[in-house]
Amino acid sequence: MGLLDGKVAFIFGVANHRSIAWGIAKELHAHGATIALSIFNEDLRRRVEPLAEEVGCDFIETCDVNNDDAIDAVFEKFKERYGQLDVLVHSIGFAPREALGGRFIDIKREDFKLTLESSAYSLVALAKRAEPLMSEGGSIMSMTYYAAEKYIPDYNAMAIAKSALEACTRYMAVDMGHKQIRVNAISAGPIKTLAAAGIPGFRGLLKHFDAVAPLGKTVTVEDVGKTAVYLASDLSRMVTGEIIYVDSGYQVLGITSPRDEM
Ligand code: NAD
């Protein structure tokens, strides 16, 4: 018996084999879930199709999460195919290049708005459409980062979006709690992905993280996927509104000197 036997998971945000969403898809599938995928646009299909095959998924539909009609359409297709939804995974983030790095105070209104819309409001927009399909209860999760709480160089607009995403998580957990729909976020340590490559100082950040994180290892997309299994399953049935760290222990540190210099 798999922990997720009989559950259907709708996962947004696979771009390639490095995507956190892909690590989640693999782990949810390994525990018995049926996987449905939504990708940003048709350009990604060529990369994503072979991955989808690995997890027995033939439902790959495009959706730009900044477009309400596209979101309605993709949930309509999902409903026609599966009827019921158990697990929604939002693993999406976007910020214009100009909104990452440099002085935060120079950020432009349009870039600020676009980052918040793409990376935080999109969770609300997806959850709103998922709610009626979760008539038996469900689990909604998104991916956040420590920059939501503390200053991290270069994250700028994305840091603000992650703060908003975490607040959205708490508000939706309360809104949907009486329907037994749980809403949580995973705060992952730095992982080399397409999105991460857009952060100017990411390489240095990863090096620093590796040197100081208590568990002494870089987080992988599979590590995040394993926590996603917990959040998707009944093992976390009384857990909602939480930010769960999958960060090799980094966020407990008050002083971040390399271990061998202490
Ligand atoms: P990724 O580039 O593989 O995934 C980002 C996804 O967002 C892509 O699939 C992209 O197509 C999608 N996307 C962007 N704009 C979209 C739109 N308008 N409509 C639909 N899809 C859109 O990178 P990732 O690192 O796997 O990012 C996934 C999530 O994890 C993001 O929220 C990111 O902020 C978060 N996260 C990443 C790290 C890290 O270090 N990589 C750490 C913590 C949290």
**Pocket residue to mutate for ligand 1, from 92, 113, 123, 208, most atoms within 8 A of Cβ:** 92
Question: What would you report as the CA-atom Rg of the chain, rounded to the nearest whole angstrom?
Answer: 18
Question: What are residue 191's phi and psi, to 5 degrees?
Answer: -135, 135
> Is the Cβ atom of 89 under 6 angstroms away from ligand 1?
no
Residues ≥6 apart with Cβ < 8 Å to 218: 189, 190, 191, 206, 209, 210, 248
Question: For each of the chain's 262 residues, which pLDDT tens digit applies?
Answer: 899 999 999 999 999 999 999 999 999 999 999 999 999 999 999 999 999 999 999 999 999 999 999 999 999 999 999 999 999 999 999 999 999 999 999 999 999 999 999 999 999 999 999 999 999 999 999 999 999 999 999 999 999 999 999 999 999 999 999 999 999 999 999 999 999 998 998 999 999 999 999 999 999 999 999 999 999 999 999 999 999 999 999 999 998 877 667 6
CB 195, CB 93: distance < 8 Å: yes
Rounded Cα distance, 237 and 40, in Å: 30
Looking at residue 259, what is its pLDDT?
Answer: 66
> Atom 7 of ligand 1 has which residue's CA nearest to it?
92
251 alpha carbon to ligand 1 midpoint, in Å? Answer: 21
